[in-house]
Amino acid sequence: MMNIDEIETFITLVQEKNFTKTAEKRALSQPTVSVQIKNLETQFQTQFIRRTTRQIILTPDGQFFYEEALKIQNIYRHLHESLYARNHEASGLLKIGASFTIGEYLLPKMIAALKRSYPNLTFDIMIANTDAVLHAVQHFDVDLGLVEGSVHAKNIDQTPFKDDRLVVVCSDQDVQHFNTIEDLQNQAWIIREEGSGTRQSFEELVETYHLKIQSSMVISSTQGMKEGVKNGLGLALISEAAVQEELRHGSLHVLTHLRISNARKFTFIQREGVPLTKNTTLFMNHALQQF
């Protein structure tokens, strides 16, 4: 009969792709790691991994078992957290993937507010574009994803948690040049990379208003885009939540008088059918109350 230690050793081996690193991370000897993997293969009468001189390769059965093992690990964590919480306050690790705008401008405040109530919670944060966050959720690399807009993918549950508005911003020196939608024609733009939710919204803006683009510069972070705009490199379409500091200091200007409508939602994403851990549920509920 398999046990949770063997399952977690197998998961670690798949993620580390190395027996030595797995042994170190699990505080086991290498022979013990090998025995635990062999026990699982014997129990299920199949081969999960193939070892070459350079790497570890999952068999098709191994890939299937890995995906199911992650679900088992998630259920076990949920049980552990739930039972612990009966007599203790919430604690443990919560792994979150967030797209750039959320990760850089909202998530720190969300975590800080939650930590004030639950100081024993710890966090592992991945900040990347929407496609990368979706990939992490699909492969169980994070417990929860937070993205801009919605995603188009199977087996994903989506829960909107905050309204957002995208705005066109320009530098302090250029604000007088933009009075109508036509003034946006043949301009230089600073845009996000492919796979970003903001990039998708920019392409929708171009299509909606039939904009002709003089030139475009790709910068794969919101902060980099803002600095580019401040230095006169072009216009940018950015979340209003990301430019509050610049608006207060007057270093950026929102072209609100152009009446461009770009409303969207910030959204939680998680694997469909996978039970949420207590900590994940706590985080989501806290965010929904906060916003």
Strand 213-218 relative to strand 263-271, pairing: unpaired
Tell me: the pLDDT tens digits for 254-273? 987 776 767 889 999 999 98
d(CA 166, CA 274): 32
Q: Which domains does the chain have, with CATH numbers?
A: 4-84 (1.10.10.10), 91-162+266-290 (3.40.190.10), 165-263 (3.40.190.10)
Please give the pLDDT value at position 89: 65
- What sign has the CA pseudo-torsion 27, 29, 32, 38? positive
Tell me: the pLDDT tens digits for 38-54? 999 999 999 999 887 77
Please give the pLDDT value at position 84: 67
pTM: predicted TM-score of the whole model, two decimal places: 0.67
Please check whether residue 197 is in contact with residue 129, taking contact to mean a CB–CB distance below 8 angstroms: yes
- Nearest Cα neighbor of 279 from 120, 49, 103, 61 is 120
Please give the pLDDT value at position 177: 87
**Long-range contacts (CB closer than 8 Å, 24 or more residues apart) made by 91-94:** 91/118, 91/120, 91/121, 91/122, 92/120, 92/121, 92/122, 92/279, 93/122, 93/123, 93/124, 93/279, 94/121, 94/122, 94/123, 94/124, 94/143, 94/144, 94/277, 94/279, 94/280, 94/283
Instruction: Give me the residues of the chain with pLDDT under 50, please.
Output: none
- CB atoms closer than 10 angstroms to residue 180: 11
Please give the pLDDT value at position 158: 95
d(CA 284, CA 41): 37
